[in-house]
Chain A
Amino acid sequence: MINTLRRHASLVVIASIGVLGAAALWRRDGGDAVGRALFHAWELFLFIAPSLLAGLLLAAALRQLVSPGALARWMGAESGWFGLCVATLAGTLTPGGPMAAFPLVLVLAGAGADRGALVAYILGWSLNGFQKLLVYEVPLLGPEFAIMRTLITLPMPMVAGWIARRLPIAWEPPR
């Protein structure tokens, strides 16, 4: 029950905003404007669809080919900047949404990654995940912007991981 809710919570929120938006647009500009907006959404979908399919295929293939646990032995508490770098790269290469990435944090923690590496891993995934970048950011916002933002944020997960190792917050991975 909680799981169903969790899975559909954002769907419900987004749908409610969408219905309110449609109603407001209808009142202001009439039914034609609503139809035009729906057509724009359809065009956008057709534009993203090819990369979406390629991204999902690649994500599924990578899950078969790479085992993240094997990388964790380079991410221990004594691994220094090298470990943070490996963790950031692993995050960047992790495909899929939060339902895939957060459980992987537990796998990495169990295999020996320390908290700094885990913070770097999560931020590498959420800031510069290749799937988000290639499926959405490059086609929609243009390659120039996507490359600039990626270059600027590339070292950030490592810096955050370095800080996390020094924070006085005790954290043990849940069993």
Chain B
Amino acid sequence: MTAGQAFLWLVALIALGFCLRRGPGTLRKVGTETGQSLVKILPMFAVALPMAAFLAELMPADAAVAWIGPDSGFMGVVIASVAGGFMPGGPFVTFPLVLAFSKAGAGVPQMAALITGWSIFAVHRIITWEYPVLGWRFVAMRMVSALPLPIIAGLLAELVVEVFPITLGVP
């Protein structure tokens, strides 16, 4: 278990402690809700993780270098930002794919731009949730306000990487 996982469990146990103080009924509700979430998420995992693994195997070792490699610079950041917006599915798809890209030679700033682009634009999420719940005007307002942010994130990451040699993946 990594330090991050241990921290997450600690926070979860503290929150559960507060729920217990409100009474065992609250704790039971938490249990039921967690079970329901698991039932919803596990089928996603069963499909998404093999998908990411197949794509990772298919990708040639240096496939990502030319387009989104560490030396691809500003264009690489732009390409990664746009590509991020079209990644389908939740974090269980995106993060394994980012890991696969980085093994295929993608650069750290480009991956920061890709994750930011996915977080902000996620086209599938706009179509299935944001538009039906909040309407096109809200989507337009949010998109205009956030449009340059993935590229800015990539460029800032480029500056950081020049000072601190940050790598992707667990050491």
Contacts and interface: CB of A to CB of B under 8 A. Distances in A.
B108 A145 contact: yes
**Prevailing SS type, chain A contact patch:** helix
A65 interface: yes
Contact of B90 (A13, A17, A37, A97): A97
A21 B58 contact: yes
Nearest to A16: B51
The interface size bin for chain A is 35 or more
B157 A149 contact: yes
Contacts of A52: 41
Given A10-B128, A11-B44, A58-B11, A123 B50 contact: no
Given A52-B41, A136-B91, A144 B166 contact: yes
Nearest to A106: B133
Contacts of B128: 6, 9-10, 98
A139 B141 contact: no
Nearest to B126: A98
Interface of A: 6, 9-11, 13-15, 17-18, 21-22, 24-25, 28-29, 33-34, 36-38, 40-42, 44-45, 48, 50-65, 96-99, 102-103, 105-106, 115, 118-119, 122-123, 126-127, 132, 134-145, 148-149, 152-153, 156, 159-161, 163-164, 167, 169-171, 173-174
Interface of B: 1-5, 7-9, 11-12, 15-16, 18-19, 22, 26, 29-31, 33-34, 37-38, 41, 43-45, 47-58, 88-96, 98-99, 102, 108, 111-112, 115-116, 119-120, 122, 124-125, 128-130, 132-135, 137-138, 140-142, 144-146, 149, 152-153, 156-157, 160, 164, 166-171
